[in-house]
Amino acid sequence: MNPQTSTSRPLIPKRLDNAGLEHAYDLIAEAMDAAPPEKRTLFLAKLAFVLANLVGDDRQVAQAVEAASRDL
């Protein structure tokens, strides 16, 4: 095993504790399952936009977009 190491530095601070992250994980997974399959991308775009508004900070929203764009 010769694992590669990532060259990207983390951009996102940890704000939720593990229980909070798990709760969000379940909530979003269940909401995706509740949406019709062809509407999931629309749901996720709406969710991201709503969260961006709640974050209320241009720079942080840009960092979130960059973090989510990596390693697709």
Partner 1 sequence: MHQPDAQPRPSIFYDYKVHPFRSPPALQGTPDAASVAIVGAGPVGLLLALRLAQFGTWSVVLEQELQVSHGSRAIVLTRRSMEILQQAGVAPRFLQKGLPWANGRSFYRGQEVYRMVMPHSEDDRFLPGLNLQQQYIEQYLVEACEASGMVDIRWGSKVIALQNEPGGATLRVDTPAGEYDLTADYAVAADGGRSTIRRLMGLRMEGRAYAGNFVIADIAADLGLPTERLCFFDPEWNPGNNVLVHREPDGIWRLDFRLPEGETAEQALEPARLSDRIDKILAMLGKPAPWKLDWATVYTANTLTLPDYVVGRVIFAGDAAHLLPIFGVRGANTGVQDADALAWRLAMAARGAPAGLLATYSHERVQAAREICEEAGKSTRFMTPPTEGFALMRDAVLSLTLSEDFPKDLLHWRTSRPHFYADSPLNSFPEENAAFAGGPGCGEPLANVRIGPDDFLLDHLTEPGFHLIAFASSAEAGPDLADFLRACEPLPLMRVLVAPAFGEDLRALADVCVADPQGRVAARYAANAGTAYLVRPDGHVCARWLSAGADDVSHAFAIAAGAAS
Q: How many CB atoms lie under 10 A from the CB of residue 40?
A: 14
Work out how close the CB of 42 gets to partner 1 at its nearest, in angstroms, rounded to a whole number. 14
Q: Which of residues 10-29 bind partner 1 (CB under 8 A)?
A: 10-16, 18, 21-22, 25-26, 28-29
What's the DSSP call for residue 62?
A: H
Q: DSSP assignment of 31-44, as one string?
A: HHHHS-GGGHHHHH
For position 53 contacting partner 1 by CB under 8 A, the verdict is no
For position 36 contacting partner 1 by CB under 8 A, the verdict is no
Cα distance between residue 41 and residue 25, in whole Å: 17
Binding site for partner 1 (CB under 8 A): 1-6, 8-16, 18, 21-22, 25-26, 28-34, 37, 40, 67-68, 70-72
